Amino acid sequence: MMRQQIARVAAALALAGTLGAAQTQAQTTPDDSLYRALGGLPVLQKVVDDFMASMLADRRIKHTFAESNIERVKQKLVEQFCQLSGGGCIYTGDPMREVHQGLKLSNADFNALVEDLQLAMDANGIPSHTQNRLLALLAPMQRETVSR
């Protein structure tokens, strides 16, 4: 009885140890290669500044931002791009579907946004291979942001 109990405790501890080790590893060695390729936070901030300027000058989509707090959106975009690329930031904005559903965005709106982001990344010297890595992470959000 006693021996069985000890064996059980030992097994539980071993499992906890393994899980703990896996977790520690996940926390200490995240893949931040994209974040670093993009140039880290200073470049991401500049990209988002240029990206927003480009969208606000874009006749196709600027109207969608008419009632938005632009500084907030920029801050949330920086957090989101940083987190997605492995930079260790935490996105503190609202869920994508919730934010965008009332805007009734189309695929054409989405494509316009992607073009504006590409312009901003070009302007900041980000190579196309690196641009494509970020765009691939954003692609699944088309479903969450486009609603017509």
Q: Using CB under 6 A as the criterion, which residues of the chain lie in contact with ligand HEM when the complex forms?
A: 61, 64-65, 68, 72-73, 76-77, 80, 93-94, 99-100, 103, 105, 109-110, 112-113, 138, 141, 145
Q: Closer to ligand HEM at the Cβ: 36 or 72?
A: 72
Q: Closer to ligand HEM at the Cβ: 45 or 64?
A: 64
Q: Closer to ligand HEM at the Cβ: 14 or 94?
A: 94
CB of 61 to ligand HEM, least distance (A): 4
CB of 141 to ligand HEM, least distance (A): 4
DSSP state of 58: -
CB of 138 to ligand HEM, least distance (A): 4
CB of 80 to ligand HEM, least distance (A): 5
Q: Closer to ligand HEM at the Cβ: 13 or 94?
A: 94
For the chain, the helix, strand and coil percentages under 3-state DSSP, each to the nearest 5? 75, 0, 25
Q: Which of 132, 96, 124, 111 is nearest to 61 (CA)?
A: 111
Residue nearest to ligand HEM (CB): 93
Q: Closer to ligand HEM at the Cβ: 13 or 108?
A: 108
